[in-house]
Amino acid sequence: MRFLVELFATLVIALALGLSTAWFMVSAPRIGTGVGAWKAVPAVSADTADPYTRARVARTGEIVLGAGEGLVFIAEADDDGRPLDGACDYRISGATPTARLWTLSMVDDAGGLPASVSGRTSLTSREVLRDAEGRFEIAVAATARSGNWLPSHSRGAEKAILRLYDTPLALSPDQNMRMPRIVRGTCR
């Protein structure tokens, strides 16, 4: 009797452990090079994708950028490690790694884009205004700002997604990449 109870408990623990860790690894990109607040999502190609990426793509139906197309970075927190929150304003400033084109957008937990008066949901390297040294400063806020303004959600958890197209880094992101800083401003 004792044996059966122990066997049952072991099976339950094994299942719970195996399934929960699998779900954790598959529910979002967990492996990737981190630089500051940003994490590079591993570039995906049919030959080289890791099993976790394969499972995540199959489960979410998400369209991923191919290894030859570019590289995606996700930031879920600011440079001080506080989770990005729609109730706060942020400044994203500095420079990005070399790329022919980049786009920046803010999404909520479900991947939804923010509604704003401008109807704009992203900012690209073609539109952004830079200083004499090529650096930019972007105001992320729910309401209009002067200069480079990226509309954000007015409340709730957010993620910043930076997509670099046609970048030499796509195959080998490294720790020395210059990524933009994310600094929290005022909160409502």
Q: Which positions touch another protein (CB under 8 A)?
A: 6, 9-11, 13-19, 21-23, 25-26, 44-46, 49, 51-52, 54-55, 57-69, 100-101, 103, 105, 111-115, 121-122, 124, 126-127, 163, 165-166
Q: Which is nearer to another protein, 96 or 103 (CB)?
A: 103
160/101 Cα distance (integer angstroms): 17
- Find the helix or strand (DSSP H, E) in which 92 lies: strand 88-94
Q: Which is nearer to another protein, 77 or 170 (CB)?
A: 170
Is residue 84 within 8 A of residue 75, CB to CB? The reply is: yes
Which lies closer to another protein via its Cβ, residue 25 or residue 183?
25
* Least Cβ distance, residue 157 to another protein (angstroms): 16
Residue 59 tokens, joined: 């489960």
Q: How far is the CB of 44 from another protein (least distance, A)?
A: 5
- If one counts every other C-beta atom within 10 angstroms of the C-beta of residue 159, the result is 17
The distance of closest approach from Cβ of residue 128 to another protein in the complex, given in angstroms and rounded to an integer, is 12
Which CB atom, from 81 or from 119, has the smaller least distance to another protein?
119
Q: How far is the CB of 118 from another protein (least distance, A)?
A: 10
Alpha-carbon span 99 to 84, nearest angstrom = 25
141 φ/ψ sector (left φ>0, alpha ψ -120 to 50, else beta)? beta
